[in-house]
């Protein structure tokens, strides 16, 4: 059992949970993810480790309500437990030997971006961070990024904070201004990572993306998370989840992500019915 030690609501429907998991915290590195399961009837859900503290033996995960399972996790409170937490999974990324990097985070993707940005900064890179959200209210981890970035820029779809528009607008300016950027990391919705990768390709700048594919086991034994990278099929859980953005087939990934949409609805409405019964 893995206890929740601290809960913070970061934005509407976005929750941060600090979980007691000393064995996993001891091995966690930027890029690693977890598979969690709340109770006996739950799905296995992949979540990136947004932060870890080896001394306290804790992991931080940040999650947004989108379907039944994420809602169930967001409804957990301090003292509650996850029945299962597996990790650290996936490949961690090497953050040494970069001198100037742009870290681009969109929506909830800001959370998995953080440990990588922090580690790049600790290894001596100049960090330019670009965070995007739908509205100012939905923007998360601004303070954390302020602390580790040499420059921090924000864009919102509605212009309620920072520049109005998309992260790619700011990124384009940065790529024009600087010809010594040696890495772009982009994490966010698949469509955002697709357009970031398209843009950076024109400038020939190495670009890493972290895919949030559907997963079951997260250990390479089912292939549910497969993705076409270059000409090859890779498993995001063991070969990734970080890949070269210039090689990923994003359209295929977007299609695969929507496959269980109807089931998500059914799970939600089924649960809704149950809750009503309990109330009566």
Partner 1 sequence: MPSAVKNEMPLQDPEERINNFKEVALGYGKEDAVQEAERCLQCKNPACIKGCPVEVNIPEFIKLIKDGKFKASLSKIKEKNNLPAVCGRVCPQEEQCEAECVLGIKGESVAIGRLERFASEFAAKESESVEENESENQKQSLGNVAIVGSGPSGLTAAADLAKLGYQVTIFEAFHKAGGVLTYGIPEFRLPKAIVKSEVENIRKFGVDLKLNQVIGKIKSVDELLNNDFDAVFVGTGAGLPRFLKIKGENLNGVYSANEFLTRVNLMKAYKFPKYKTPVYTGKKVAVVGAGNVAMDAARTALRLGAEESMIVYRRSRQQMPAREEEIEHAEAEGIQFNLLNNPVRILGDEEGTVKGMECVKMKLGEPDESGRKRPLPIEDSEYVLDVDTVIIAIGQGPNPILLNDTPDLETNDWGTIVAEEDTGQTSKEGVFAGGDIVTGAATVIKAMGAGKKAAQAIDQYIKSEIYGKV
Residue 164 or 269 with smaller CB distance to partner 1:
269
What is the C-alpha separation between 31 and 113, in angstroms, rounded?
A: 8
- String of contacts with partner 1 for each residue 211-250, x by CB under 8 A: -----xx-xxxxxx-xxx----x----x------------
Residue 179 structure tokens: 């010809």
Residues in the interface with partner 1 (CB under 8 A) total: 41
Residue 34 structure tokens: 């977890």
Residue 120 structure tokens: 């790049």
Name which of residues 43 to 102 contact partner 1 (CB under 8 A): 43-44, 68-69, 83-89
- String of contacts with partner 1 for each residue 169-208, x by CB under 8 A: ----------------------------------------
CB of 137 to partner 1, least distance (A): 29
Q: ∠ CA 250-251-257 to the nearest 5 degrees?
A: 85
Around Cβ 40, how many Cβ atoms within 10 Å? 7
Considering only residues 12, 159, 164, 259, which one is a binding residue for partner 1 as defined by CB under 8 A?
259
Ligand-binding site membership of 187 (annotated): no
The torsion angles phi and psi of 49, rounded to 5 degrees, stand at -75, 115
Residue 88 or 162 with smaller CB distance to partner 1:
88
CB of 203 to partner 1, least distance (A): 29
Rg for the chain, CA atoms, rounded: 18
Residue 60 or 72 with smaller CB distance to partner 1:
72
Most distant CA atoms of the chain, gap in Å: 64
Q: 26: closest CA among 82, 83, 112, 87?
A: 87
Q: Is 77 exposed, middle or buried (0-12, 13-18, 19+ CB in 10 A)?
A: exposed
Name which of residues 8 to 47 contact partner 1 (CB under 8 A): 23-24, 27, 37, 41-44
Q: Which spans in the chain are helix H?
A: 22-25, 68-74, 110-122, 142-148, 167-177, 190-203, 236-239, 250-257, 261-279
Residue 86 or 148 with smaller CB distance to partner 1:
86
Residue 69 or 95 with smaller CB distance to partner 1:
69
**Residue positions in the annotated binding site for FAD?**
62-64
Positions in the binding site for partner 1 (CB under 8 A): 23-24, 27, 37, 41-44, 68-69, 83-89, 216-217, 219-224, 226-228, 233, 238, 252, 255-256, 259-260, 263-264, 266-267, 270-271
């Amino acid at each position: 059992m893995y206890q929740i030690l601290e809960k913070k609501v970061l934005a509407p429907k976005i929750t941060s949970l600090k979980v007691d998991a000393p064995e996993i915290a001891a091995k966690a590195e930027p890029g690693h993810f977890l598979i969690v399961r709340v109770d006996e009837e739950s799905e296995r859900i992949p979540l990136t480790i947004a932060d870890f503290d080896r001394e306290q033996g804790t992991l931080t995960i940040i999650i947004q309500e989108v379907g039944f399972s994420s809602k169930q996790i967001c409804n957990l409170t301090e003292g509650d437990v996850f029945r299962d937490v597996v990790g650290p999974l996936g490949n961690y990324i090497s953050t040494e030997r970069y001198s100037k990097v742009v870290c681009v985070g969109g929506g909830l993707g800001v959370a998995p971006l953080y440990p990588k940005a922090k580690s790049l900064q600790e290894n001596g890179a100049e960090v330019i961070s670009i965070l995007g959200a739908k509205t100012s209210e939905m923007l998360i981890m601004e303070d954390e990024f302020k602390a580790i970035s040499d420059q921090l820029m924000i864009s919102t779809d509605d212009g309620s904070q920072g520049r109005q528009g998309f992260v790619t607008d700011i990124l384009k300016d940065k790529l024009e201004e600087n010809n010594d950027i040696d890495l772009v990391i982009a994490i966010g919705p698949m469509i955002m990572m697709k357009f970031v990768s398209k843009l950076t390709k024109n400038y020939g700048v190495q670009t890493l993306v972290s895919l949030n594919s559907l997963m079951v086991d997260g250990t390479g034994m089912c292939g549910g998370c497969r993705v076409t990278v270059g000409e090859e099929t890779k498993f995001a859980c063991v070969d990734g989840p970080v890949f070269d953005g210039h090689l990923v087939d994003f359209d295929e990934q977007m299609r695969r992500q929507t496959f269980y949409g109807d089931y998500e609805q059914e799970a939600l409405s089924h649960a809704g019915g149950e809750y009503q019964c309990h109330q009566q």
